[in-house]
Amino acid sequence: MIQTLKIIQPDDFHIHLRQQNYLKDTVRYAEKFKKILVMPNLTPPIVSIQQAKIYREEILFYSKNNSLEPYMTLYLNKSLSKQELFEFRDHNWLLGIKLYPSGVTTHSEYGIDKIEEYFSYFELMEKLNIPLLVHAEVNDDNIDFFDREKVFIDLYLSRIRNVFPELKIVLEHVSSKEGVEFVLESQNIAATITPHHLLLTRNDLFLPRLNPHHYCLPVLKTKEDRDFIAKVVLSGNPKFFAGTDSAPHPVYKKECSLSSAGIFTSPIAIELYITFFEKNRCLDKTVIENFLSVNGSKFYHLPINQTTITIVKEIQKIPESYPLGNDKVIPMWANRNLTWKVISN
């Protein structure tokens, strides 16, 4: 039985670090990863290169050993000037522009309503080779909540792909069978996958009783969806790579009515991914390493990390909570035992 895994240090190509008095903690929790791709859904959102630069410097300031490599995204809306697109490629730490349909998730109120109004941006992004990162869910309350991803793909994403075939697109945190199929049949489209969409199903939202710490967006789906996502990861398909979507909210915003969406996994995410591989009897170093540490960098044309980490078979208890500024955040599977531990990086 495999007891130790030594792999290239993993990257997290989708993380929420928040701001102000939360940032110091969230940066520390991300430090088992090498490259991180930081989401722009702050208040106000990051809509300019200058804002992203200041945010990135703050992140670097809090990074203890200076080993973390933060990459940044801009938030697509009318405040994002086209001039920024022309300058985007001058900064090698900028990786993409994030599309949030308005109202679909945390701080998406600044997002977009009429996708057609942004076709001129997509045209320019295609020309300038700037990836479009998509939160692929419709904001239409008449659509069944569990179908939001599928319907967004049918109504919008497939159109964007067809009109802009050379545009690089990342279907962020893919959560459904239809999402995976869409990526498989499309050129120039990749997807990030979270640990929670690999380990949980929508039953985990309700059993043993309603659990706000399993509420995220896109919402957890059926076992069939989860197993379909698992299959494509286990197959080693290079279009799929790790992006935790670790999204900390203070406990008072989770354990209340109108609970905020987001699952916090950052400090234990590598172990959760390894747990997924073990559960599926696939402790295959190449498959694991490609998913966690290679595929994403290749997609974004970034160098593969020189550093490695070692993960050993050892029990560690997931804490009940982690400090978050003056508040606390409760992680996925709080108080449960993990059987893997990252011991060095």
CB of 217 to Zn ion, least distance (A): 8
CB of 42 to Zn ion, least distance (A): 12
Starting at the earlier edge strand, list the strands of the sheet with 4-8.
4-8, 308-317, 337-344
Q: Is 284 part of the annotated catalytic residue set?
A: no
Does 175 bind ligand DOR (CB under 6 A)? Our answer is no
User: CA separation (Å) from 13 to 81, 109, 124, 246, 295?
Assistant: 25, 23, 23, 11, 10
Closer of 217 and 288 to ligand DOR (Cβ): 217
Q: Taking CB under 5 A as the criterion, which residues in 234-263 touch Zn ion?
A: 245
Q: Taking CB under 6 A as the criterion, which residues in 56-115 touch ligand DOR?
A: 105-106
Does 41 bind ligand DOR (CB under 6 A)? Our answer is yes
Q: Which of 261, 283, 302, 334 binds ligand DOR (CB under 6 A)?
A: 261
User: CA separation (Å) from 264 to 72, 116, 153?
Assistant: 20, 33, 26
Two tokens at 202? 């929508």
* Residue 254, C-beta contacts closer than 8 angstroms, at least 6 positions apart: 212, 213, 215, 260, 262, 330
| Residue 261, contacted partner among ligand DOR, Zn ion, none, CB below 5-8 A by kind | ligand DOR
Q: Is 146 exposed, middle or buried (0-12, 13-18, 19+ CB in 10 A)?
A: middle
CB of 264 to Zn ion, least distance (A): 12
Q: Taking CB under 6 A as the criterion, which residues in 104-143 touch ligand DOR?
A: 105-106, 135
Closer of 25 and 245 to ligand DOR (Cβ): 245
Which run of H or E residues covers position 82? helix 82-88
CB of 344 to ligand DOR, least distance (A): 30
Q: Could you give the residue ranges of the DSSP H alpha helices within 95-153?
A: 119-128, 148-152
Q: Check if the beta carbon of residue 246 is closer than 8 Å to that of residue 15.
A: yes
Interface mask toward ligand DOR for 222-251; x: CB under 6 A: -----------------------x-x----
Two tokens at 332? 């996925």
Q: Is 241 helix (H, G, I), strand (E, B) or coil?
A: strand
Closer of 212 and 262 to ligand DOR (Cβ): 262
- Catalytic pick among 11, 12, 25, 245: 245
CB of 62 to ligand DOR, least distance (A): 19
> With CB under 6 A, what is the number of residues at the site for ligand DOR?
11
CA 197 to chain centre: 11
Does 11 bind Zn ion (CB under 5 A)? Our answer is no
d(CA 251, CA 238): 36
Does 137 bind Zn ion (CB under 5 A)? Our answer is no
Two tokens at 330? 């409760």
Closer of 11 and 245 to Zn ion (Cβ): 245
Closer of 4 and 19 to ligand DOR (Cβ): 19
Residue type, 6: K
Q: Which of 85, 217, 230, 269 binds ligand DOR (CB under 6 A)?
A: 217
d(CA 165, CA 157): 11
- Residues marked active site are found at 245
List residues near ligand DOR by CB under 6 A: 16, 41, 105-106, 135, 216-217, 245, 247, 261-262
List residues near Zn ion by CB under 5 A: 245
